[in-house]
Structure 1
Amino acid sequence: MDYGIKIWGGYDFIIEDGKVVINEGNRPAIIDIVKDVREQGFKGPVLFRFPHILKKHVNSLFNKFNKYIKEYEYSGKFSSVFPLKVNQYPNFVKYLMEKTKGKNYGLEAGSKPELIIAMSYVNEKCSIVVNGFKDKEMISLGFISAKMGQNITLTIEGLNELETIVEVAKEMGPPYPNIGLRIKLHSSGIGIWAKSGGINSKFGLTSVELIEALRILKEEGLIDYLTMIHFHIGSQISEISPVKKALREAGNIYAELYKMGAKNLKKIDIGGGLAVEYSQHKTLHSINYTLDEYASDVVFLLKMIANNKGVPEPDIFIEAGRYVAASHAVLVVPVLELFSQEYNEQKLCLKEHNPPLIEELYELYNTINEKNAVEFLHDSLDHMESLLTLFDLGYIDLIDRNNTEVLVHLIIRKSIELLKNKNLSELKDIQNMIQERYLLNFSIFQSLPDYWGLGQQFPVMPLDKLDISPTRSASLWDITCDSDGEIAFDADRPLFLHDVDLKKEDYFLGFFLVGAYQETLGMEHNLFTHPTEFVITFDEEGNYKIDDIIEAQNILDVLDDLDYDVKEIERRLKQNIEDSDLIPDDEKKDVIGNLYLVLSENCYLKTIAGSKN
């Protein structure tokens, strides 16, 4: 089973010898890198970053757009900026800039801290675009960037920002940053981010405001600094038609502004929205277009509009942060427990005389075979419902209830094993009745917040055993004490995993395409923090190297982030131990030592009873 890797993997990851491997260098298996870092003492969930994937996806953007620029004899140029809101982590930003040197690939900022990151790490002569609401201080940072010789554009979200730019220009003098205007389109996107576009969207200038902005720029002698218009109709645009509609509208606005006197207006920033294929299932694709189609439509439509209007063909800017970032990161999570494995024959406590239904269950378990497996499974589930009702009414005792649960689970496991080589639809009928619950050592709220908040699906699969058919329909539970910390089994998007004995072997799941938005949106629910991360690079011989490890925060660091006085916490705990009459004096030093050992560790589980993980 390939878990749809050919649908979502983009050949960044492939399967060889039953393992997920990185399609780079000597193609190491991810499971082998996991074993490597665990031998170094790093337990719990880990995040792997693969900078070569960033380079590959940026190259794809430039190659596709330049292909159609050449094919359509388009006179404008292609450039791109990465929107930092998608991923601001240093091990992402620094490697992104390193891997894109030589291209006009810059950074987009939407806040003061993001602008500071952009000013610090953008490659020389590459663009900085500043979006979002701005105060005088943030606009002043833009002027400082211009004085540093950087190619920065302040995109105006409202007329008050333009008035502040005029004020700061008079105070600070030249050189000035370039100015962009964010336009409010009638066109909107599609899906859960559709509200990013449309006339009622949060950002942008209406037609009335655009004309007023042009007037102010002319009056203040800043019209030559108006170089860009910008629009954004939403993230993860699943269909191409809203993009084409927005391009027609924005292209005509560009042409009209140019004809009204904005002669240095040469760029259109079409924002983000280029979608990523998250689906693992052939019938549930996330997008209906390719990068080829997207690039072709953008170039063709802007050329057609410019030519029809008699204005220069504009330079094309694109953000496409999700497309660039999503694939580069993989979250690897250890499985701690399979809950049904507590039900085994050793747990049976059969009496000399058992209730008739339990005797029948025992008979079903001993006589089940391939021909009668489905029928016997149905019978056992019916018997369980009857026996649980009898328990509620007081007619059977707790030992009988224990035997009921154990026997039914044993029958389920046996029936799945008997039918594992049968038609999948037949097996699926069984799996829909009952799923195995896999307890995973991570927090959904921290590492997959878009799943919890928006229902965003992420590809998930075992990292090995892919040459063995999985037999258990899986519900995934995280270790938070919150019932929402679950990825429930979905019959429309079924996830099947292996029936493994965790006392004898480790079992790891990989969550893919998690490099966009998940990290900075992740919340510290239950005070679980960012997993330990590793950057995986390749040397000239194709061997992988582990670089730039950032460990998960320890418990004291987490509490310090919440503004606790950690020194006071340490003092209180130490004093409580020293004052305790329950701890012998000669043991108190060891107890304090054990306490400090725990405080110095991260918050994820090291292991649970009976598990190797």
Structure 2
Amino acid sequence: MVDYGIKFWSNDDFIIENGVIKVNYGKKPALIDIVKDVREKGFKGPLLMRFPHLIEKQVNKLFDSFHHSMQTYKYKGNFHAVFPLKVNQMPHFVLPLMNSSVGKSYGLEAGSKSELIIAMAYTNKNAPITVNGFKDKEMIKLGFIAANIGHSITLTIEGLNELETIIQVAKEMGEPHPNIGLRIRLHSTGTGIWAKSGGINSKFGLTSTELLEAISLLEKSNLLHKFTMIHFHIGSQISDISPLKKAIREVGNIYAELRKMGAKNLTAVNIGGGLAVEYTQHEGNNNRNYTLSEFSGDVVFSLKEIAKNKKEKEPDIFIESGRFISANHAVLIAPVLELFSQEYDEKALKLKEKNPPLIAEMFDLYKTISEKNAIEYLHDSLDHMESLLTLFDLGYIDLQDRSNTEVLVHLIIKKVIKLLKHKNHNDIIRIQEQVQERYLLNCSFFQSLPDYWGLGQNFPVMPLDRLNKKPTRSASLWDITCDSDGEIAFDSSKPLYLHDVDVTKEEYFLAFFLVGAYQEVLGMRHNLFTHPTEFSVIIKEKGYEIDRLLEAQTILDVLDDLDYDTKEIERILKQKIEDSLLLDEDRKKEILGQLYIMLSENGYLRTIINGEKE
């Protein structure tokens, strides 16, 4: 069985049984069965599955881990958390998140006016709201409105001008005031792609000099009692625990110093986000070097020790780790449309009555190859191919000879892999690095996996079934956009092997896991491909049900979102059909009907599989 590194990344959310991947919950439904169920209802193309029970699982793990660490170290502060909406603002995620966290001090973090409106509407009673990012007067007034309707809200100050605006709005609107937080620009930095979020040159936060000036402004304005929180952030996806421990020591000492200066209502340290998710499928390529238990333990222990040494109150701990909460709840399913080397079969071989000697030798290699001589014949065929391609460039062989060369090489490679598929031969691995199978997927990486395209972020990927059969093809993945960056290339350090299937006769689906953080909200409409059809899978005692199904937008919907006048587009196309001199009246009606059907469907591809449309 090939497990595609499931023991590294799945956190027991998914398991492999009987050759298929299953949800490790309830009756353990197979993903392939869920996909077939939805497709039978008429929803084709890529699919985005959501699993609300995994949202609740992550929230519970986060709170359980910090509460356990606090009990272990007899910590006197409280634990609070907020979900940063920038990570995933989709209602089919946010609403289940809030439902699953009722009774916990778990709220929402906003970085824009629109996000703040969401937070004000859906944050549970007695749960916190925090507001980060740059703010104008109107956004600050929204924060005051939130306080007026009973929310426990903290406006985190990114610069002194924001603090001056808060002071002005406080005079205009009066009590109640929101709490005030100050974001600290630490010297400590994180690690990895997002490390620039921290450090003295980071985008956000107050320097020590600005921090002292902020305290002075608060005192003069009689608002020091509303200063309750300091905040820092050293980057998303912190891979190493050491920079976090260093940052905690730095911010802990700042917290103690501010309290000694008279900020006695400062009772909370917000450690921001950064709790890493393990994306790796390959041993030795881990994305983090710590556990959740170690993370919470180090935070709690470090803050307790500093408070003890400085003789100050142990602060409440806030955390904003959105990736940890949301990444695992969503799975992207992409149908495979084509394997490009399948064009290289014996039917494509058009040998002449008299072939160039090297082609005749290659054909003989193909017919006589065996397990014993497979590697030798493979090397010979590759040498022959190079020689024949040179002969073509020099004009000594024609295009048909070149075609036969390409076909024979692919036939020999496939035969060698089949003969040696049960052996881990170094030569086979090297050959597979050079000659990958290209799998065309019915999805857009720009729309559904933008972090792969933009940042090189890997996501676990595997087929939904055939997991009791050894995959033999080194795979590079292509999406259906007309952009060369829409490819996940084969990487010999993190290889992906898939099955050699005939997709004209049987369906083959790939699943991308841990796509619930950032991917939807960052996805772009490259080539005007829209979001996949999405739905939630509610695991029931006797099985599952499909809920909150949202179909991919139609072509007309996408154009309408771009402010095209779709009625005008329909009118123009209809007029062009009616004016065509190439069509009779019956044909005009037929084409017009076909056009209206296409405009009412989404833009993903439809192919014929066993006589049926994809």
The alignment's TM-score, normalised by the length of structure 1, stands at 0.98
Matched, 1:548 2:548: yes
Any stretches of 5+ residues in structure 1 without a counterpart? none
**Aligned residues of 1:24 and 1:542 also touching (Cα < 8 A):** no
Counterpart amino acid of 1:120?
A: A
Q: Identity of counterpart residues, as a percentage?
A: 69
Q: What is residue 327 of structure 2 aligned with on the other side?
A: 326
Q: What is residue 599 of structure 1 aligned with on the other side?
A: 599
5 Å-filtered alignment, 1:250-269, equals 250-269=251-270
Q: Deviations over 1:70-96 (max 9, x none)?
A: 011000011110000100011010111
Q: Deviations over 1:438-474 (max 9, x none)?
A: 0000111111111111111110001110000000000
Find the residue that maps to 2:505 and give its secondary structure: coil
Q: Deviations over 1:402-433 (max 9, x none)?
A: 21111111111100000001125443122122
**Aligned residues of 1:502 and 1:611 also touching (Cα < 8 A):** no
Find the residue that maps to 2:423 and give its secondary structure: coil
Structure 2: how far apart are the matches of 1:348 and 1:364? 15
**Aligned residues of 1:502 and 1:610 also touching (Cα < 8 A):** no
Any stretches of 5+ residues in structure 2 without a counterpart? none
Structure 1: how far apart are the matches of 2:86 and 2:33? 32
5 Å-filtered alignment, 1:153-172, equals 153-172=154-173
Structure 1: how far apart are the matches of 2:173 and 2:382? 78
Q: Deviations over 1:262-294 (max 9, x none)?
A: 111111110001101111001111111111110
5 Å-filtered alignment, 1:467-482, equals 467-482=468-483
Q: Deviations over 1:306-347 (max 9, x none)?
A: 111111000000111111111010000000000010111111
Q: What is residue 524 of structure 2 aligned with on the other side?
A: 523
Q: What displacement does 1:112 show?
A: 0.7
State how many pairs are aligned: 612
Structure 2: how far apart are the matches of 1:258 and 1:23? 48
Find the residue that maps to 1:192 and give its secondary structure: coil
Find the residue that maps to 2:69 and give its secondary structure: helix
Q: What is residue 558 of structure 2 aligned with on the other side?
A: 558
Q: What displacement does 1:529 show?
A: 1.2
**Aligned residues of 1:336 and 1:438 also touching (Cα < 8 A):** yes
Q: Deviations over 1:537-596 (max 9, x none)?
A: 122x24111100111111111111211111111111111111111111122122111101
Q: Which ranges of 4 or more aligned residues in structure 1 deviate by more than 4 Å?
A: 608-612
**Aligned residues of 1:337 and 1:611 also touching (Cα < 8 A):** no
Range with bigger deviation, 99-108 or 127-136: 99-108
5 Å-filtered alignment, 1:251-290, equals 251-290=252-291
Counterpart amino acid of 1:290?
A: T
Structure 2: how far apart are the matches of 1:354 and 1:424? 33
5 Å-filtered alignment, 1:212-361, equals 212-361=213-362
**Aligned residues of 2:505 and 2:610 also touching (Cα < 8 A):** no
Structure 1: how far apart are the matches of 2:161 and 2:480? 48
Counterpart amino acid of 1:605?
A: L
Find the residue that maps to 1:337 and give its secondary structure: strand
Q: What is residue 202 of structure 1 aligned with on the other side?
A: 203
Find the residue that maps to 1:211 and give its secondary structure: helix
**Aligned residues of 2:506 and 2:609 also touching (Cα < 8 A):** no
Q: What displacement does 1:61 show?
A: 0.7
Find the residue that maps to 2:194 and give its secondary structure: helix
Structure 1: how far apart are the matches of 2:34 and 2:152? 40
Q: What is residue 433 of structure 1 aligned with on the other side?
A: 434
Range with bigger deviation, 289-298 or 422-431: 422-431
Structure 1: how far apart are the matches of 2:60 and 2:76? 20
Structure 2: how far apart are the matches of 1:290 and 1:585? 70
Q: What displacement does 1:491 show?
A: 0.4
**Aligned residues of 1:336 and 1:608 also touching (Cα < 8 A):** no
| Distance change >3 Å, CA 260–CA 424, structure 1 → 2 | farther
| Distance change >3 Å, CA 610–CA 351, structure 1 → 2 | farther
Q: What displacement does 1:608 show?
A: 5.7
Structure 2: how far apart are the matches of 1:232 and 1:461? 33
Q: What is residue 152 of structure 2 aligned with on the other side?
A: 151
Range with bigger deviation, 412-421 or 579-588: 579-588
Counterpart amino acid of 1:419?
A: L
The alignment's TM-score, normalised by the length of structure 2, stands at 0.98
Counterpart amino acid of 1:604?
A: Y
Find the residue that maps to 1:451 and give its secondary structure: helix
Q: What is residue 488 of structure 1 aligned with on the other side?
A: 489
Structure 2: how far apart are the matches of 1:346 and 1:253? 74
Find the residue that maps to 1:334 and give its secondary structure: strand
